C-alpha cells in the first residue's frame, strides 16, 4: 500500500499526517455550524476555512483588520492548524472575482498555515473546451501565487483534471515551473460515485510527486480508508454536518444510517462522549449533538486505520472486509490494489 506517516511543520505547530481537516462554516448563523471540537478531540487540531467567504463577511473581516484573529472568532486554541482554500468551489458556477495576490493577502490576514491557490473546479456538464480552459486558469493562478508567496505558510497548488494523464502532466508542470509545498486535488466531488475514476485520478497525482497530497472534499467514512491506502496525506470533509442535517448517524466501518429507521434501542453503539451520555430519542432530535458524534466518527475511522498499521495487521485483508458489503467500492478497491501492487512491486 501507499499509506505513509509524515510530520507537517507549519507556523502554528507540527501535525502528524495523514490528517483530516473538518470544514468549518465560519460565521454562519445556523444550527448546522461546525461544533466546538478542538478542546474535545485531542488529535484533531485542524480546520479548513474558505478565504473568499470570510473576506466577504464585512463585519468579521473588519474585526480581523482591526486586530482580531480568526482563531478567536471561531473559538479554537492558538495552535490550531488552519488550511484556507481560495473558495474555488464558489467559482464552479460563477466568474472568478479574486486574484492570486488578493487571495494570498486574505489567507495571511486570516492567519492560515496552509494556503490553497485560486482554482476553477471542473464539471461533467461542461464541454471539454471549457474544462480545459479552467485547468489552464487554475495552473496560471497557482504559478502566480508561487511567484508572490514569500512567507512561512505552506503553499498547496490546486490541481484539476478529469483524466489521469491531465492530472499527472499538470502536477509535473507545476513542479518544474513553480515552488509548492504540496498539491491539492480537486473536482472529485462531482464524480465521487465513480470510484474507479477517482482512484485513477488520485494515483496519477501520487505518481507525479512525493510532496504532500491533499484531496478536496472526500474525507467521509466511505472514502477515508481508500484515500489512506492510496497515499493521500490529508483530506477535508463537511460530511459530518451534511449527514446530521439529514439525520444520518455515521458508524465507523459501515457508513451512514438514517436514525428514523432505528427503533427498539435506548442507546446507540458508539462510545464517543456524545453517545455515552445521550439517549437515542434525544440524539434523534438534537442536530448539534448528532453533528458532534459524526465528527467523532470520522476521527475514529482515521484512528482505526492508524492502529491497524501500527499493530502490523494485514491492511489489504482489513480493507477487503471493510468494503465487502458494497459491490461498487469493493470493485474500486480491488482495482486500486492491483495498481498499487504494480507501483510498489509487491
**What pLDDT was estimated at residue 346?**
67
HEC profile for the chain?
CCCCCEEEEECCEEEEECEEEEECCCCCCCCCCCCCCCCCCCCCCEEEEEHHHHHHCHHHHHHHHCCCCHHHHHCCCCCCEEEEECCHHHHHCCCCCCCHHHHHHHHHHHCCCEEECCCCCCCCCCCHHHHHHHHHHHHHHHHHHHHHCCCCCEEEEEECCCCHHHHHHHHHHHHHHCCCCEEEECCCHHHCCCHHHHHHHHHHHHHHCCCEEEECCCCCCCCHHHHHHCCCCEEEECHHHHHHHCCEEEECCCEEEEHHHCCCCCCCCCCCHHHHHCCHHHHHHCHHHHHHHHHHHHHHHHHHHHHHHHCCCCHHHHHHHHCCCCHHHHHHHHHHHHHHHHHHCC
Q: Which residue has the higher pLDDT, 75 or 253?
A: 75
Torsion of CA 303, 307, 310, 315, to 10 degrees: -100
**What pLDDT was estimated at residue 29?**
41
Each residue's pLDDT tens digit, 110-166: 999 999 999 999 987 878 899 999 999 999 999 999 999 999 999 999 999 999 999
**Residue 27 pLDDT > 60, yes or no?**
no
**Residue 47 pLDDT > 80, yes or no?**
yes
**What pLDDT was estimated at residue 92?**
63
Each residue's pLDDT tens digit, 221-253: 889 999 999 999 999 998 898 888 888 899 877
**Residue 32 pLDDT > 60, yes or no?**
no
Greatest mean pLDDT among 97-101, 240-244, 340-344: 97-101
C-alpha cell at 134: 479552467
**What pLDDT was estimated at residue 67?**
93
**Residue 181 pLDDT > 90, yes or no?**
yes
Q: Flag whether the pTM goes above 0.85.
A: yes
Each residue's pLDDT tens digit, 248-277: 899 877 778 888 878 788 888 888 999 888
**Residue 75 pLDDT > 60, yes or no?**
yes
Each residue's pLDDT tens digit, 206-223: 999 999 999 999 988 889
Q: CA neighbours within 13 Å on the CB side: how many for 75?
A: 11
Model confidence at 93, in pLDDT bands (50, 70, 90)?
A: low
Average pLDDT over residues 286-300: 91
Residue with cell 508567496: 149
Q: Which domains does the chain have, with CATH numbers?
A: 6-237 (3.20.20.105), 248-344 (no CATH)
Going by C-alpha positions, the residue among 197, 186, 157, 168 that lies closest to residue 335 is 197
Model confidence at 103, in pLDDT bands (50, 70, 90)?
A: very high
Model confidence at 285, in pLDDT bands (50, 70, 90)?
A: confident
Model confidence at 33, in pLDDT bands (50, 70, 90)?
A: low
Going by C-alpha positions, the residue among 297, 267, 271 that lies closest to residue 282 is 267
Amino acid at each position: 500500500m501507499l499509506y505513509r506517516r509524515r510530520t507537517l511543520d507549519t507556523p502554528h505547530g507540527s501535525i502528524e499526517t495523514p490528517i483530516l481537516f473538518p470544514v468549518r462554516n465560519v460565521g454562519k448563523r445556523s444550527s448546522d455550524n461546525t461544533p466546538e471540537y478542538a478542546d474535545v478531540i485531542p488529535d484533531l487540531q485542524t480546520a479548513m476555512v474558505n478565504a473568499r467567504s470570510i473576506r466577504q463577511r464585512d463585519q468579521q473581516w473588519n474585526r480581523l483588520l482591526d486586530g482580531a484573529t480568526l482563531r478567536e472568532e471561531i473559538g479554537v486554541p492558538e495552535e490550531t492548524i488552519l488550511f484556507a482554500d481560495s473558495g474555488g468551489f464558489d467559482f464552479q458556477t460563477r466568474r472568478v472575482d479574486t486574484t492570486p495576490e488578493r487571495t494570498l493577502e486574505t489567507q495571511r490576514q486570516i492567519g492560515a498555515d496552509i494556503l490553497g491557490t485560486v482554482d476553477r473546479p471542473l464539471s461533467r456538464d461542461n464541454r471539454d473546451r471549457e474544462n480545459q480552459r479552467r485547468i489552464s486558469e487554475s495552473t496560471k493562478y497557482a504559478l502566480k501565487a508561487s511567484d508572490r508567496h514569500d512567507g512561512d505558510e505552506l503553499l498547496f497548488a490546486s490541481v484539476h483534471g478529469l483524466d489521469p494523464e491531465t492530472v499527472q502532466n499538470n502536477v509535473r508542470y507545476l513542479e518544474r515551473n513553480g515552488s509548492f509545498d504540496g498539491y491539492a486535488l480537486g473536482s472529485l466531488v462531482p464524480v465521487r460515485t465513480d470510484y474507479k475514476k477517482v482512484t485513477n485520478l488520485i494515483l496519477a497525482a501520487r505518481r507525479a510527486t512525493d510532496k504532500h497530497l491533499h484531496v478536496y472534499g472526500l474525507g467521509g467514512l466511505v472514502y477515508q480508508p481508500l484515500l489512506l491506502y492510496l497515499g493521500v496525506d490529508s483530506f477535508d470533509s463537511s460530511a459530518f454536518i451534511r449527514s446530521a442535517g439529514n439525520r444520518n448517524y455515521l458508524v465507523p466501518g459501515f457508513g451512514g444510517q438514517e436514525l428514523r429507521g432505528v427503533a427498539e434501542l435506548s442507546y446507540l453503539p458508539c462510545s464517543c462522549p456524545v453517545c455515552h451520555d445521550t439517549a437515542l430519542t434525544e440524539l434523534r432530535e438534537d442536530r448539534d449533538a448528532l453533528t458532534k458524534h459524526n465528527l467523532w466518527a470520522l476521527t475514529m475511522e482515521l484512528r482505526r486505520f492508524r492502529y491497524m498499521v501500527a499493530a502490523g495487521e494485514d491492511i489489504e485483508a482489513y480493507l477487503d472486509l471493510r468494503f465487502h458489503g458494497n459491490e461498487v467500492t469493493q470493485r474500486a478497491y480491488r482495482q486500486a490494489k492491483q495498481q498499487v501492487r504494480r507501483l510498489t512491486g509487491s
